[in-house]
Structures are given as structure tokens and as C-alpha cells.
Structure 1
Amino acid sequence: MELGIGMFGDLAFDQATGKYRDAGVKIREILDQVKLMDEVGIDVFAMGEHHRPDYAVSSPEIVLAAAASITRNIKLASGVTVLSSSEPVKVYEDFSTLDLISDGRAEIFVGRGSFIESFPLYGYSLNDYEELFDEKLELLLKINSEENVTWSGKLRAPMKDQTVYPRAKNDGKLSIWRAVGGTPQSVLSAAKLGMPLVVAIIGGMPVQFKDLVEFYKQEYQKAGHNVAEMQIAIHSHTFVSDDQAVADGYFNNYKSQMDRIGASRGWAPYTKMQYDGGRSREGALFIGSPAEVADKIAYMKEIFGITRFVGHMDVGDPAHNVMMKSIELFGEKVKPVIQSL
């Protein structure tokens, strides 16, 4: 089973200055962190996309390309590419270029995203929310499998025998995963297309997603895809520390980000009870000592039969040294336990 780390590039808000932390500093820290991930044997790094003042990264492709130049083995993925408001040709070109830079390490996680700010930013209507994604996914998959593309849809100009270059290393094909938040329709689409699945589980109890994952497996097989090639991942909030006080104190970072997002979505303020409940063995937060985190990931493998776990590790913008320690422990203490399963 592969272990990965995901990030959004969260920026802490300084109450004294009334400003978010410097995005340039944050991005440089992310690159230091990815370099360490590579050194301690983390399998995948996934960089998210946001277009808000509280996140540093709006262009994962650029950050991943920079990361490719300072790493040797780690796979480099978007986490996620908001495909509904992206241009499929450009998405393929950017990631095929990244694939060539990294010698075949690029991946794409495509999804609708958890925020909608990219729609008005790029001139798309939320009235086309579903159709935009379905149409653009169809085109992206076609580009990924065919060098000369003929395609037509309703919301984008047609393509007629047009070529898309450069081609990715593996016979032009990139690994494209479908990232979902738990809707059966999205899972069904991924299964029918034979796409690897990434399920974001950030609240409640992961076991509640068991039926959804089983549904994916059944529909994947029913569609005639090779079961031996089936890949399933979970993406959940993660933080590793061998210091109990640090893990307990991380609540403040976590709460600050949850409350900032929640303020715009009508959520009640995040509580310590929620935090502690999420950290329990049945909860969705993989926050604790290396042994506790490894145990929960092993439990996920038991429940779901996952082939990859991606720990989302920068919620609330922990200090750089704290992040580096969490990454080090994830690679040197958690990964050996998972590899032994």
C-alpha cells in the first residue's frame, strides 16, 4: 500500500496585522517539505488548488514542477484539479510536461473541488456545474488515450483531428484518478470508466463510507474492468507527533481553519469534543502518535481494502519545523508499519 501526503497551502491569519502569512514563504516551505517526503520514502505528494486569500496555491502544476526538480522518486499529483473550471487540453499539456520533467511521476486527481470561487473567476456558470465536469472529463480522458482528438460537446468548442503535445512518458497516458466527496453518482461514474478512486473522508466515521466503496468495487467489476488493476485511496486530515502536547496543541491550528471555512458555510464553531472524537480509532482524523496513526491506516485497509492512503497534513498552517517533524515521522515510523501488513 502506498502512503502519500496532501496539502492545500493553508495560510495562517495574523490577528495582530490583520493579514495572512506570506504566500511566497509558504510555497518555499512546501518545497522543502516535499524534498523531505522524497528522502523519507513517501510515495505520493498531492497539491491542491484554491483561489482564496487563505491558501497559497492556485496553480498546483507550477508547484509540482518545482518539486520535480528537487525530488527523485515521489509521485507528484494534483489534489485536486478542479476540472469543471479548467481547460482539459491545458490540463493534459501541463501534466504531460510535468511527467516529462519528473521522468514519469505525474498524476492527476480530478474533482469538482470543495469551493466554487474558480467558476466566476474563470467565467463559468454554476448552472452548468454537473455538465461542465462530465463533459470536460470525457474530453480529458480522450486526450489521454488518443494523440489525435476528434470530439464535440455542448459547452466547449469541438475538436477535429487535433493533436495535443507533448505526450506523457507512458505511451502518452497519465494516471488520472477520480476524487470524490461521497456522492454515489460520482463513484458510479468512476467505476464505469475504470478510474482509480480517491475518497475524501474529513468528518464523521470512515466506516460510514464502507457501502460506498463496496458499491464502487461492484460497479467496477460489472463494467468489465480488470480487478487486479483497481486502485482505491482515502484522503484524510493527518498530523503525526510523538509529543502528546504538540498533538493536543494542534487543535488550535485545526480549529482556526475549520472556523474560517465554517463562517462562510454556516457551521457552528469547531469544538475540542469534535477534535477528540475525530482522533478516536473510529474517527476521521489521523492525528496522534506514529503508532496511533499507523493503527488507524491499517484499520482503513482492513475496512476498505485501500491501495493508497493520503494524509492531508497542513490544515491550519502548522509551523514549518512542526510540519517537517510530522513528515519525518510519517515516513520513518508510520510507513514501515504499513509496509509490514
Structure 2
Amino acid sequence: MEIGVDSFAAILPDPVSGNLPSAADRMGDLLREIETADRVGLDVFGIGEHHRAEFLDSAPAIILAAAAARTSRIRLTSAVTVLSAADPVRVFQEFATLDLIARGRAEIVVGRGSFGEAFPLFGLDTRAYDDLFAEKLDLFLKLGEITNVEWEGRFRPALRGEGVYPRPHQARLPLWVGVGGTPESFVRAGTLGLPLMIAIIGGSFERFRPLVDLYRAAGTRAGHDPDTLKVGVHAMGFVGETDEEARNSFFPGWAHLTTKVGRERGWAPPSRAQFDEMAGPDGAFLVGAPSTVAAKMLHASDVLGGVSRITFQMSTASLETTAMQRSIELLGTEAAPIVRSALSGK
């Protein structure tokens, strides 16, 4: 199992003073966090894409390129690229360029996006939400196979064999499909034979097993090798010295962002009791001491029928970078070895 961290480059109030850091300082902290993840042996670091005031990740390929120049081993990916609202040609060029800078360490997770801000920003109709993604994914996959593509669709001018450059360092840029809870999205990824990255940001891991089964069944029907049908999990996570310390560290930032988004979507404000339940044995939050977190990761893999990658969405913790880096260190040096040892013995 690959283990890593995802960040949305959240810029949150200091938990003590309530002051916001400068955007430049927060970006510098984020790059140091990625360096730490590389140093402690984590496998992957992902940067999301949002177009909101509380996140600095509207251009993930640029952040990842800066990280590529500072790291040597860790794989670098989006988490996710909102392909529906982008030009697939430009996205391919950006990540191919990243792959050259990183010498073959770039990946991309594409999805439709859980926030809608990108669509009006780039002049797109949200009523075509799924059609946009399906068409642009089709083009992106073709760009990975052919330099001079002949292609025509509804939402982008046709390509008549123009060359798309540069080409990535890897023979093929690894691509995952990011999904939430829509059954059709799981079936589409399986039919295409693409690795699946599931955003599990609440509830339990068990409730996603029927959807994972749909994915694998669709892939088998389409004739894909079951070994290529990889399942990844993106979950809320934070590692502390103790369970209590981890929960107390993560809760304030999570509650701040969840309350803000909840006001927009008509949700009730979250409570500490709800948070503790999701961080407990039956919940999907990977928040706790290294042994607690490792046990929950192994549990997630078991109930989902085998997981190839788990990434921790840590950036909703409103912490200064030293505390964030310590959490990343604990994940890489204490939690991850427990998981790897347990899986190697199977």
C-alpha cells in the first residue's frame, strides 16, 4: 500500500490568535511540508484544486513543480484536477512538464469537482456537469496515447492532428479517477480500466464497499485485468503523539471549514461529538496516534477488498507548520511502517 498526504493549501486562522498567515508564508510552509514527506519516506503528495478564498491551490501543477525541484523520491499528483472545467490539452501539457521536472514522478487524479466555483469562472454550464467530464476525460486519455490527435467533441474546438507537446518523461502519465459517492462514476472508471481514488470524508469505510464492488465488476465485464483495477482512498487524517492530542489538533480547523461550507449548503454546524464519532473505531477519519491510525488504515483496506493507496487530507488542521510537519513525520516514520509490516506478512 502506498501512503501519502493530500493538501488543499488551506489558509486558516491561527487557532490561538485568530490571525490569518500571509498567502506567501502559507505557500512556503506547504513546500516545507512536502519536503518533510519526501524525507520521511512517504510515497505520494497531492495538491487539490479549488477556486475559493480559503484555499491557495487553484494552480496545482505550479505548486507541484516547485515541490518537484525540492524533492527527490516522492510521487507528486493532483488531488483532484477539475478536468470538467479545464482544457485537457493545457492540463496535459502542464503535467507533462511537471513530469519532466520531477523526472518521472508526476501523476494526475481527475474528477468533476465537489465545489462548483470553477464552472462560472471559466464560462461553463453546470447543467453539462457530467457530459463535460466524460468528453474531456476521453480527450485526455487520447492525448496520453498519441502526440498528433484527431478528435472532435461538443465543448472544445476539434483537433486535426496538431502535435501536443511536451511529452512526459514517463511512457504514460499515471491517471486516477477521483470519485465521491455516485455509482455511475465508479462504473465509468471500471469500464475504462482506470485506477480509482475515492474521497471518503465522513461516515464509514464499509458503506463504500458496494460501490467498489460495482467498480471491479464493471472493470471485469470490460475485460480489464483485475490487478490493474487499483483502489485508493483519500480521507481526513492527522497523526499525533496520542489519540487525544491528534483529535484536539485537527478538530478546530476541520470545524471552521465544515461550518463555513455548511452555511453555503444548508448543513447544521458540526459538533465535537460528531467529530469524535468519525475519529472513533467505526468512523472514516484517520485521526489518532500512529498505532490507531495504522489499525484504521488496515481496516479500510480489509473492508474495501484491498486498497493500493491511502492519502491523508491534513490541511484542514489550523496548525503552524512545525506541528503539521511533526504529524507528517509520525505518519512516515511510525504509522506507515506498521502498515507495511502487517501487509508484507500477508
Q: TM-score, normalised by structure 1?
A: 0.96
Matches within 5 A, 1:58-207: 58-171=58-171, 173-207=172-206
Q: Please give the alpha-carbon distance, in whole angstroms, between the structure 2 residues aligned to 1:228 and 1:82.
A: 27
Displacement of 1:56 in angstroms is: 1.5
Q: Residues 245 and 281 of structure 1: is their aligned pair in 2 closer, same or farther, counting only changes over 3 Å?
A: closer
**CA offset at residue 280 of structure 1?**
1.2
1:233 corresponds to which residue?
Answer: 232
The 2-side partners of 1:266 and 1:72 are apart by 44
Distance (Å, rounded) in 2 between the aligned partners of 1:187 and 1:214: 9
Q: Which shifted more, 99-108 or 21-30?
A: 21-30
Q: Which digits, 9 at most, give the CA deviation of each residue in 1:105-157, with x for residues without a partner? A: 10000001111111111111112211111111110011011111000011111
| 1:247 corresponding residue in structure 2 | 246
Aligned to 1:313: 314
The one-character-per-residue Cα deviations of 1:45-84 (angstroms, maximum 9, x if unpaired) are 0100111111122100000000000101100000000001
Which SS does the other structure have where 1:225 is aligned? coil
Q: Is the 8 A contact 2:79 2:110 kept in 1?
A: yes
CA 1:252–1:313 in 2, change beyond 3 Å: closer, same or farther?
Answer: same
Q: Whole-Å Cα distance in 2 between the matches of residues 122 and 19 of structure 1?
A: 32
Matched, 1:223 2:222: yes
Residue in 1 that maps onto 2:284: 284
**Superposed, which structure 2 residues align to 1:19-30 within 5 Å?**
20-30=20-30
In 2, Cα distance between the equivalents of 1:196 and 1:24?
Answer: 34
Displacement, 1:245?
4.5
Does the 8 Å CA contact 2:202/2:283 hold for their aligned counterparts?
yes
CA RMSD of aligned residues (A): 1.6
Give 1:248 deviation, angstroms.
3.3
**How many pairs were matched up?**
340
Cα distance change of structure 1 residues 14 and 247 upon mapping to structure 2, 3 Å threshold: closer
Equivalent in the alignment of 2:273:
273
2:237·2:312 contact (CA, 8 Å) conserved in 1? yes
SS in 2 for 1:324: helix
Q: CA deviation at 1:195?
A: 0.6
1:33–1:323 contact (8 Å) kept in structure 2: yes
Q: For residues 19 and 124 of structure 1, do their structure 2 counterparts lie closer, same or farther at Cα, with a shift above 3 Å needed?
A: farther
Deviation at 1:206?
1.2
**1:97, CA displacement in angstroms?**
0.5
Q: Secondary structure at the match of 1:114?
A: coil
Distance in 1 of aligned mates of 2:326 and 2:57:
22
Aligned CA distance change for structure 1 residues 19 and 230 (closer, same or farther; 3 Å): same
Distance 2:271 2:148 in 1: 54
CA shift at 1:212, angstroms? 0.5
Deviation at 1:219, TM superposition (A): 1.1
Q: Quick one: which amino acid aligns to residue 324 of structure 1?
A: Q
Aligned mates of 2:16, 2:224 — CA distance in 1: 56
C-alpha deviation, 1:243, in angstroms: 3.7
Q: CA deviation at 1:229?
A: 2.1
The equivalent residue for 1:333 is: 334
**Corresponding residue SS for 1:31:** helix
Seen in structure 2, the aligned counterparts of structure 1 residues 244 and 308 have a Cα distance that, compared at 3 Å, is closer
Taking the aligned partners of 1:339 and 1:17, their CA distance within structure 2 comes to 39
Work out whether residues 281 and 296 of structure 1, in 8 Å CA contact, stay in contact via their aligned partners in 2.
Answer: yes
TM-score (structure 2 length as normaliser):
0.95
Q: Distance in 2 between matches of 1:222 and 1:197?
A: 16
Separation (CA, whole Å) in 2 of partners of 1:194 and 1:15: 44
User: In structure 2, how many angstroms separate the alpha carbons of the residues matched to 1:177 and 1:99?
Assistant: 15
